[in-house]
A and B are shown apart, each in its own frame.
Chain A
Amino acid sequence: MATMVAEPPRVESRVNYLNASYGVKSWLLTTDHKRIALLYLVSITFFFLIGGIAATIIRLHLISPTGALVEPATYNKLFSVHGIIMIFFFLIPSIPAVLGNFLVPMMIGARDLAFPRINLLSWYIYVVGGLFTLYAILAGGVDTGWTFYTPYSSTYSNTHVLATGIGVFISGFSSILTGLNFIVTIHKMRAPGLTWFRLPLFIWAHYATSVIQILGTPVVAITIVLIALERVLHVGVFDPKLGGDPLLFQHLFWFYSHPAVYIMVLPSMGVVSELITCFSRKRIFGYEFVAFSSVAIAVLGFLVWAHHMFVAGISIYAGLVFSILSYLVAIPSAIKVFNWMATIYKGSISYDAPMLYALGFIGLFTMGGLTGLFLANLGVDVHIHDTYFVVAHFHYIMVGGALMGYLGGLHFWWPKISGRLYPDKWARFAALVIFLGFNLTFFPQFILGYLGMPRRYAVYPPEFQVLNVMSSAGASVLAVGYAIPLIYFIWSMRYGPIAGPNPWKAKGLEWSTSSPPPTDNFEQTPVVTEEAYAYGD
């Protein structure tokens, strides 16, 4: 790196979206989808840091069975903040609002999203929602967990549930508007010749994600409104004393929050399809199957929510129905993994950093998905429900899956976004550190879970200590792994070598324009004449 610092590379003089105009106003009032993507990038990185700090304190605290750092009440606020921030303010907007915002119009050959001003509005809504949540944290925190289970959240908690609820409610509309924009854009603004079955799989994945965003999010929004009304007015929608049913809350909550997992992981799958094809120089194996499996996951994902409630007291009949439906959603995920494997088979595989993340995604997502089969199982779930087994499982999906995909995508398109290259050696090193740190953090938690350690415990029996210490050690490795890309991305913005329009020799419309792209993306509207991923030609 030292040799590169010596002389900042020559800046390309051509006008692009980054240097088209200057000043704070030109950013805060922009309607350019690429600039809005960068606004999102900065804000979600900020929230990732907050969520990450909370996670760090949690893991440090759990080194000792009696709790090393904080009071149990504080611990509860920490895991609540970690969950709320990471899910609603980092993972859900991560790929759609950053990479999706940047790439959806470019990949379909459009000049912008269908509604650029609504796009900017969605960022402001996100920021306002984030500010409410930050206020709640600074004013003393919230301790309901990200699940807001009633009647604890509606009646018993004396923390800032209302401000947090408003924050989550508001940010939900940001997600809805992004999804709405994508759906209309993908339907109405594709370049000439770009038929549905020529679309990159990234677009299919974002289409499926958008469907979940627009149909799921409003349900959690109204549910949060009901909690707020119950807290303020003391009416008893979820209060058993008035005949209310706490389980109704769980139904409404998980109707969104289970599909929300697919909002996080589907775009990641889209990214992986792009990376796998580019770095093995092969067209995707079974295009239609990968494309439709995204849609299938989006639809089936809505039918499985009550597997979060097998021990909550739902009827046996409902348990049976939701268990078998949960198994169905495993199939499209399996189809994707097998198709990716078939794609790299007999490919020409290169190991640039994005590909390492993609391969890491496949491995970790496979493990996350397969452990999901345990939780969908009525017989075994009774034992492992609400234990660390669940914690490990969903971190394999959300961090091992969604976050790996996000980082892979960021590394892949960073040259397009910034016009610069980052140091590849460091990037590969960081990918390795993250993979190892991740497994060290979360694999022991599977064992802890089957042993019976419940989640959300600030103190725990001493025989669980060894595994907890292993997990905490892994978390510190993981933290280092995340810090490295942050440093070299910032470094590369000024000192990175000029990338050129297509450093990976990738296919796809976004690589046919210059890096960074001009404000209108293309000099002239592209015309598509070939299938996606035509690497063989």
Chain B
Amino acid sequence: MNQWLNDSISSPWREKLATPEFTHSHQFDDNAQQFEAASLGMWVFLLTEIMFFGGLFCGYAVYRSQYLPSFEAGSRLLNVGFGAANTAVLLASSLTMALAVRAAQTRKGNALMIFVLLTMLLGIAFLGIKFFFEWIPDWRDGVVPGLHWVPTAEVVQHVAGRAGAVLPRVELFFCFYFFMTGMHALHMVVGLGIMTYLLLKARTGALTSGHFAPVEISGLYWHFVDIVWIFLFPLLYLIGGRY
């Protein structure tokens, strides 16, 4: 078991990480150990995040299984076009993030800054589409539970037209829609903060001197947020039956 769990960074990387420009923190023995610890730490944190969103997914699964028609009716009120477009935007930001990590690994300072900036812009684009093209129209339709739940006549008619759908349970769907997309957007905002930090740090050249762990683990976080959306998109927008 020792052997099995202890396979770690292979020697080419170990050499690359042993750069003179960066000195590891006092508790570590070398740069490679620090890198491994940082990476494992982020993965463990992401496990926590999985379970955090997991609670919401669990609630969603329970209510969807009980109130399928209402959840399908709610789902069909969402705009699948914007959902799909946003998925593409977020996937693109993941690509630029991956390229940013690569730029840090290959010590290309300018490329790093450009890709981080692109990632941020795509992230902002995602939030913009979400806010202006989805949440604001939702507000106009009066389908924001708690804050503004006065569904318009069309919404009511749509719900009534779906066999088995009931307005209060469609409200429950929208509760989960806003909690899940809201919590996701909150994580995006945090991600943008991290990107800003990377950008400032990258200007000093600290991230392209061999110690690219901050970029790598920020990337892990960003990709995780992307993965959450990869599941939110079909669960919220698609499986209501668009046919």
In the complex, A touching B (Cβ < 8 A): yes
Give A contacts to B, CB under 8 Å.
Answer: 105, 110-116, 176, 180-181, 183-185, 187-189, 195-197, 214-219, 221-223, 226, 229, 232-237, 241-245, 248, 251-252, 520, 525
State whether A180 touches B5 (Cβ < 8 A): no
State whether A222 touches B37 (Cβ < 8 A): no
- The majority secondary structure among interface residues of chain B is helix
A252–B53 CA distance with the chains assembled, in angstroms: 12
Residues of B within 8 A of A242 (CB): 168-169, 171-172
State whether B63 touches A243 (Cβ < 8 A): yes
* A112-B26, A114-B37, A233-B145 known, 7 other contacts, Cβ within 8 Å: A111-B27, A184-B37, A197-B1, A215-B47, A221-B55, A232-B146, A242-B171
A223–B58 CA distance with the chains assembled, in angstroms: 11
Of chain B, the residue at the smallest CB distance from A177 is B45
Residues of A within 8 A of B53 (CB): 222
Give B contacts to A, CB under 8 Å.
Answer: 1-2, 5, 25-29, 33, 36-37, 40-41, 44-45, 47-49, 51-56, 58-59, 62-63, 66-67, 70, 145-147, 166, 168-169, 171-172, 175-176, 179
Residues of A within 8 A of B147 (CB): 233
State whether A188 touches B169 (Cβ < 8 A): no
Q: A235-B175, A237-B59 are in contact. Are A111 and B26 (CB under 8 A)?
A: yes
State whether B168 touches A223 (Cβ < 8 A): no
Residues of A within 8 A of B70 (CB): 243
Of chain A, the residue at the smallest CB distance from B147 is A233
Residues of B within 8 A of A116 (CB): 25, 27
Q: List 20 A-B contacts (CB under 8 A).
A: A105-B27, A111-B26, A112-B27, A115-B37, A176-B48, A180-B48, A183-B44, A189-B28, A197-B2, A214-B44, A217-B48, A218-B55, A226-B59, A229-B179, A232-B146, A233-B146, A235-B146, A236-B172, A237-B175, A242-B172
State whether B169 touches A113 (Cβ < 8 A): no
State whether A184 touches B175 (Cβ < 8 A): no
Residues of A within 8 A of B67 (CB): 243
Residues of B within 8 A of A189 (CB): 27-28, 33, 37
Residues of B within 8 A of A243 (CB): 63, 66-67, 70, 166, 168-169, 172
Residues of A within 8 A of B56 (CB): 222
A116–B33 CA distance with the chains assembled, in angstroms: 15
Q: Which of B2, B33, B37, B168 gathers most chain A CB within 10 Å?
A: B37
Measured between C-beta atoms, what is the minimum distance from B228 to chain A in Å?
13
Measured between C-beta atoms, what is the minimum distance from B4 to chain A in Å?
10
Measured between C-beta atoms, what is the minimum distance from B166 to chain A in Å?
7
State whether B52 touches A219 (Cβ < 8 A): yes
Measured between C-beta atoms, what is the minimum distance from A238 to chain B in Å?
9
Of chain B, the residue at the smallest CB distance from A196 is B2
Q: Which of B44, B48, B59 contacts A184 (CB 8 A)?
A: B44
Of chain A, the residue at the smallest CB distance from B59 is A248
State whether B1 touches A188 (Cβ < 8 A): no
Residues of A within 8 A of B45 (CB): 180, 214
Q: A184-B37, A219-B54, A229-B179 are in contact. Are A236 and B168 (CB under 8 A)?
A: yes
Residues of A within 8 A of B25 (CB): 116
State whether A252 touches B172 (Cβ < 8 A): no
Q: A221-B52, A236-B168 are in contact. Are A248 and B62 (CB under 8 A)?
A: yes
Q: Which of B33, B44, B56, B63 gathers most chain A CB within 10 Å?
A: B44
Of chain B, the residue at the smallest CB distance from A232 is B146
A244–B172 CA distance with the chains assembled, in angstroms: 8
State whether B146 touches A229 (Cβ < 8 A): yes
Residues of A within 8 A of B169 (CB): 242-243
A245–B65 CA distance with the chains assembled, in angstroms: 12
Q: Which of A112, A115, A176, A223 contacts B55 (CB 8 A)?
A: A223
Residues of B within 8 A of A111 (CB): 26-27
A242–B33 CA distance with the chains assembled, in angstroms: 52
Measured between C-beta atoms, what is the minimum distance from A242 to chain B in Å?
5
A114–B27 CA distance with the chains assembled, in angstroms: 7
State whether B55 touches A187 (Cβ < 8 A): no
Residues of A within 8 A of B44 (CB): 180, 183-184, 214
Of chain A, the residue at the smallest CB distance from B149 is A235
A525–B172 CA distance with the chains assembled, in angstroms: 58
